Chains A and B, each alone.
Chain A
């Protein structure tokens, strides 16, 4: 769960709770679904908009995937566990200040992709 692995430091407390809900869920969950699950057994219920904000922030960080379903959005996990979140956090925090990364993840230009394919196939 969210608190295991020691990598949770990249997440705020509410974010970690929301992640725990999604980890337990089997597939996409709507904002309402997350709110209901979070508020079960909670003395001071969380507002819908608060949860929505947290969800869209996590989607913005690339930790959740957001998809349109009907009139609203549903969310699924984009990461396997807390280590992955921590890694993303670390790499984002570092920027490229003191790291030598093999290659940045980019959306490759089709021509570059074709050139790489050619190199891959020609001399193997």
Chain B
């Protein structure tokens, strides 16, 4: 399979690590400014600048919380579930997890629905359902386990959450959301490559078919109804994933426009803050 190496995303992480604290700092400054602003005497541009920065910061934090909250609640609910409902691994599963060296990181719950997830931020674990084990043959089970082991080793739950938090924080920057989705896709594709290398294309395809296919119509999110599947199937067929560059450029344009507006306001605001600090001494 010839798939181009994904480009490193570390530059974006670095940018975020600098930009987010700076933005939060400016927000605090702007909020303080509000308290001090002499509403009648101040210039309209001052008011606009302070409002833009304070507003963007508050909305950004709200956007990040919208991602963090369900993750927190879900994590709690999952831990509760694990305390009450974990079953011992069946012999078949045990044999597979022993071979892969992940037996101490795998839990199993008894449900008819077939699923496998990797969860947990600090010390990720894999959760399997009895339905999954019943649905898959030995090679398919290995494929799923190797796929999840890849997520586990790379701490993908943490990465995905961090990317989504960042996308939530900068929700008015469409490129970030797109990047978070691409990151999720790249993680899935990488895990699929690991699974294919170990268990073969047929096993990965079989597992995808058995676990994704929902025969009865169900209420599924309509925005991206097939999720990552078209790209994952294309990779199994030996094609590189679609790069969707035109969309990326479009989103980048919108992102730059939003950032430029915000930065202009921020620069005014910073100037104001510096002037005020200067005036105080």
Q: Which residues of A contact B (CB under 8 A)?
A: 5-7, 9-10, 62, 79-84, 86-91, 93-109, 112-113, 115-117, 119-124
Contact of B200 among A100, A108, A115, A123 (CB under 8 A): A123
- What are 12 A-B contacts with C-beta separation under 8 Å? A5-B85, A7-B84, A7-B85, A96-B160, A98-B74, A98-B119, A104-B229, A106-B220, A107-B220, A108-B229, A112-B233, A113-B209
The secondary-structure label for the interface of chain B is helix
Q: How far, in whole Å, are A113 and B211 apart by their CA atoms in the complex?
A: 12
Q: How far, in whole Å, are A82 and B112 apart by their CA atoms in the complex?
A: 11
- Interface residues in B60-81 (C-beta closer than 8 Å to A): 67-68, 70-71, 73-75, 77-78, 80-81
B74 touches A90 (CB 8 A): yes
List residues of chain A with CB within 8 A of the CB of B191: 100
Q: Which residues of B contact A (CB under 8 A)?
A: 67-68, 70-71, 73-75, 77-78, 80-81, 83-85, 109-113, 115-119, 121, 129, 144, 147-148, 151, 156-158, 160-161, 164, 184, 187-188, 191, 200-203, 205-209, 211-215, 217-218, 220, 225-227, 229-230, 232-233, 236-237
List residues of chain B with CB within 8 A of the CB of A113: 209, 213
List residues of chain A with CB within 8 A of the CB of B215: 107
Q: How far, in whole Å, are A106 and B113 apart by their CA atoms in the complex?
A: 13
List residues of chain B with CB within 8 A of the CB of A112: 226, 229-230, 233
Given contacts A98-B161, A102-B207, A120-B205, contact A9 B218 (CB under 8 A): no
Q: How far, in whole Å, are A105 and B215 apart by their CA atoms in the complex?
A: 10
B157 touches A100 (CB 8 A): yes
